[in-house]
């Protein structure tokens, strides 16, 4: 009997604990329902902030790159117009027709002296051989340029051409780009006038264009060669470390792109905008870039703030729902305890009622027997008393 009672108590305890766990599980659903909007709101806020910061960085990059493009195009357009004008004046045409090297060199000298950005000027004939120059370069006279891209383009299309960056063996420390223009005599191309323009001044432009805290602009020619970089000295060797970049290839096809990449010249991860710049028949590319760590510093701060706020809201929600879950569990325990006490009281009341009913019933039967005359006749006074007792007995029976 004792074992059965112990087993029953254990079963009751297990049932109670199961109910408590069920109530706690039910309260976890409101926690999840409250937690999910917090997560979604934090994620949505971060996405909005991220898009805003990226748009801001891209706008800054594009603005800086367009400033460089404007300066570059204006400068080269001016030099191209100058070359075309010089090639078209009668004195140049006459010197070309007579192949007057002295007269042509005098004209070239006047141009170079008055234009500091131009380092050298020379003229080649239709076979690509140099026949006049200023200043003179060792071994350059009568050398052939027929295989150079600028000569082939001018001879093929009879129009000015702007080359990419190249290094001259006589001046390796001063890389240049060529502005080549045909010289016509009686409508026939007889020579090509070439201005070699230095690029060091472009690097100075880059230093003066503000871009974020530590942003910079890189200029690449149509072949991906590094023309100018504010932190890298260009010269002696052509730097083609930027080639092979997908965004650069897309920009050479005319597509503007903003992406993240590592600047190979300084090995820093950047947020960069690749802006194509029309240079004659080709596209150069200006890369306006900002260090990723600095460009997204504001975004990282937003991320931290959202994390703190989201974590705090989650913690408070967890505490609140945890407290409610504990209260609910206590209520379950209290209700079960009250149920057990009520059942005990009912059992006790039932036992007492059963024990009281037996003598009351016996008394009832005895009174009825007396009133029925089973014990002989009784006096009216005694009968009245017995009837009173019978009424009291009947009331007690009903109560029990």
Question: pLDDT per position in the chain (400 positions), as tens?
Answer: 455 545 555 565 556 566 556 655 565 566 556 556 656 555 555 555 555 667 777 888 888 888 888 888 888 889 999 999 999 999 999 999 999 999 999 999 999 999 888 999 999 999 999 999 999 888 788 888 999 999 999 999 989 999 999 998 888 889 999 999 999 998 899 999 999 998 888 888 887 887 777 788 899 999 999 998 888 888 888 999 998 889 899 999 999 888 888 989 888 888 889 999 988 888 999 998 888 877 666 556 666 666 666 666 666 666 766 666 666 666 666 766 677 767 677 666 666 566 666 676 767 667 766 666 666 677 777 777 777 776 766 666 666 6
Report residue 211 CA to chain centroid gap.
20
d(CA 235, CA 330): 82
Rounded to two decimals, what is the model's pTM? Answer: 0.64
d(CA 24, CA 324): 9
Task: Answer yes or no: same fold for 53-74+201-297 and 89-198.
Answer: yes
What is the dotted CATH code of the domain comprising 53-74+201-297?
A: 3.30.450.20
Under a CB-based contact definition with an 8 Å cutoff, are residues 196 and 178 in contact? yes
CATH number belonging to the domain at 89-198, selected among 3.30.450.20, 3.40.50.510, 3.40.50.80, 3.40.50.300: 3.30.450.20
Domain residue limits, the chain: 53-74+201-297, 89-198
Under a CB-based contact definition with an 8 Å cutoff, are residues 174 and 291 in contact? no
Choose among 125, 126, 113, 112: nearest CA to 83.
112
Which residues, 6+ apart, have CB-to-CB distance to 9 below 8 Å? none
Under a CB-based contact definition with an 8 Å cutoff, are residues 221 and 193 in contact? no
Report residue 189 CA to chain centroid gap.
56
């Amino acid at each position: 009997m004792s074992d059965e009672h112990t087993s029953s108590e254990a079963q009751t305890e297990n049932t109670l604990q199961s109910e408590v766990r069920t109530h706690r599980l039910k309260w976890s659903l409101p926690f999840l329902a409250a937690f999910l909007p917090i997560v979604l709101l934090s994620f949505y806020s971060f996405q909005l902030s991220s898009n805003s910061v990226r748009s801001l960085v891209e706008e800054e990059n594009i603005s800086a790159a367009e400033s460089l493009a404007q300066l570059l195009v204006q400068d080269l357009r001016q030099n191209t117009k100058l070359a075309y004008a010089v090639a078209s004046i009668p004195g140049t045409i006459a010197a070309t027709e007579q192949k007057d090297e002295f007269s042509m060199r005098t004209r070239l000298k006047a141009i170079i002296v008055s234009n500091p950005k131009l380092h050298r000027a020379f003229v080649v004939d239709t076979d690509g051989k140099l026949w006049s120059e200023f200043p003179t370069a060792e071994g350059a006279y009568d050398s052939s340029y027929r295989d150079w891209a600028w000569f082939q383009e001018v001879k093929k299309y009879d129009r000015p051409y702007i080359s990419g960056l190249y290094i001259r063996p006589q001046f390796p420390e001063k890389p240049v780009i060529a502005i080549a223009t045909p010289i016509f005599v009686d409508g026939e191309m007889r020579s090509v006038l070439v201005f070699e323009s230095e690029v060091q001044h472009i690097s100075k432009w880059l230093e003066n264009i503000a871009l974020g805290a530590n942003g910079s602009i890189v200029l690449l020619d149509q072949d991906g060669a590094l023309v100018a970089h504010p932190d890298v000295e260009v010269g002696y060797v052509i730097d083609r470390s930027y080639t092979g970049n997908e965004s650069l290839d897309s920009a050479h096809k005319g597509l503007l792109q903003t992406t993240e990449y590592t600047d190979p010249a300084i090995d820093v991860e950047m947020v960069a905008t690749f802006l194509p710049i029309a240079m004659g028949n080709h596209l150069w590319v200006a890369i306006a870039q900002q260090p990723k760590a600095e460009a997204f510093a504001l975004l990282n701060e937003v991320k931290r703030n959202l994390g703190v706020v989201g974590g705090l809201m989650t913690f408070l929600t967890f505490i609140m729902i945890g407290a409610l879950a504990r209260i609910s569990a206590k209520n379950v325990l209290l209700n079960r305890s009250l149920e057990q006490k009520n059942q005990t009281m009912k059992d006790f009341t039932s036992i007492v009622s059963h024990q009281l009913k037996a003598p009351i019933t016996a008394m009832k039967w005895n009174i009825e027997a007396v009133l029925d005359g089973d014990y002989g006749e009784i006096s009216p006074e005694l009968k009245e008393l017995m009837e009173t007792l019978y009424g009291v007995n009947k009331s007690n029976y009903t109560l029990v």
